[in-house]
Amino acid sequence: MIFIKQTKFNIALLMSIMLIGCNSQTQKKEIKFDHVSLKVLGTIQDGGIPHLGCNKKCCEEYFLNQTQRIGVSSLGISNLKNNKNYLIDATPDINFQLKKLIGNENISKKLNGIFITHAHMGHYSGLLNLGRESFSSSLVPLFVMPKMHEFISSNGPWDQLVKLKNVDLKSLSNNKPEVLGDNLSIVPFLVPHRDEYSETVGYKIIGPNKTALFIPDIDKWEKWEISIVELVKEVDYAFLDGTFYDAKEINNRDISEIPHPFIIESLELFKNLSVVDKNKVYFIHLNHTNPAIDKSSVPFKNIISKGFNVAEGNMEFNL
């Protein structure tokens, strides 16, 4: 079973690599018009920052200065060749994140797809803003895996978005590329996570020249049959689960209930990667308690000094 899954994944990877090779050769001359840009629209875990009920130092500044805002983790993809835009995850901060992605353009026309990773609140609850109580969008394509499809279409209030045609549900399959033009594909792949309401996927975003990996939520790396170390080598950017820096920050919760890979565990796992490969890694989906949010902190400096990165809102990459 594991072998089959891995083989399928490798075939998808191979196809992706062939696709990239193909595109970069044929479109070299018109590269300026062929760009796909990837924007980091948010970097924080589902609960956001400031976090409800947090009286600790991590959120103090954010409660005091309400204009200082970092959104919940989300990526925006703009295909400049055909002027189409995609959002990965619909967070509670979707209003200002879509402003960053498409400015004053009409959401029903210029938001050409939303890809959801899973049914945890920070990753899909922003969809409510597309409903008739708010923007009332028209048939925005909503790309989801089978269990998420079932969840949205058979539970209120989400089913109303489908009934009123605010969204147009599109089905994704594990490891099957969703082709969004001759210069852009997005590939979902299953990852282990607490799957109460839906399965959980990460995404591979394949542009004309470069490929990015987005895995905001995953259980410990060891629980996945795919080697994340090998995967990092095959892509150009890897936005990876950096929810917690280490076990110290969760003093009031049972850590076995929250089995994310700690950043320090990932640093150890990735320690033998080349400098070039280490530079590809951007930790994202940081919990409000994660000391690495603060750029003057020792943990942030430790991550950077070892050759890795912490994702920041407004970062932009060409794919």
Contacts to Zn ion by CB under 5 A: 46, 51, 54, 56, 58-59, 120, 122, 217, 288
> Whose Cβ is closer to Zn ion: residue 56's or residue 132's?
56
> Whose Cβ is closer to Zn ion: residue 257's or residue 305's?
257
Q: How far is the CB of 37 from Zn ion (least distance, A)?
A: 24
Amino acid at 3: F
Question: Could you give the CA distance from residue 227 to residue 63 in angstroms, rounded to a whole number?
Answer: 40
Q: How far is the CB of 25 from Zn ion (least distance, A)?
A: 38
Q: How far is the CB of 147 from Zn ion (least distance, A)?
A: 14
> Whose Cβ is closer to Zn ion: residue 56's or residue 223's?
56
36-42 and 113-115: which strand pairing?
A: unpaired
Alpha helices per DSSP H over the chain: 2-26, 57-64, 94-102, 107-110, 121-124, 146-154, 158-163, 228-234, 263-269, 275-278, 298-305
237-241 and 281-284: which strand pairing?
A: parallel
Closest CA to 184 of 78, 32, 110: 78
Residues 6+ apart with CB under 8 A from 206: 16, 19, 20, 177, 184, 185, 186, 187, 319
Q: How far is the CB of 246 from Zn ion (least distance, A)?
A: 16
Closest CA to 49 of 298, 289, 314, 236: 289
> Whose Cβ is closer to Zn ion: residue 57's or residue 165's?
57
Q: How far is the CB of 285 from Zn ion (least distance, A)?
A: 6
Alpha helices per DSSP H over 196-297: 228-234, 263-269, 275-278
Question: Could you give the CA distance from residue 258 to residue 219 in angstroms, rounded to a whole number?
Answer: 8
Tokens 């594990």 identify what position?
174
> Whose Cβ is closer to Zn ion: residue 12's or residue 191's?
191
Question: Could you give the CA distance from residue 150 to residue 143 in angstroms, rounded to a whole number?
Answer: 12
Q: How far is the CB of 291 from Zn ion (least distance, A)?
A: 11
Question: Could you give the CA distance from residue 288 to residue 65 in angstroms, rounded to a whole number?
Answer: 15
> Whose Cβ is closer to Zn ion: residue 20's or residue 58's?
58
> Whose Cβ is closer to Zn ion: residue 107's or residue 148's?
148
Q: Is 230 helix (H, G, I), strand (E, B) or coil?
A: helix
Q: How far is the CB of 217 from Zn ion (least distance, A)?
A: 4
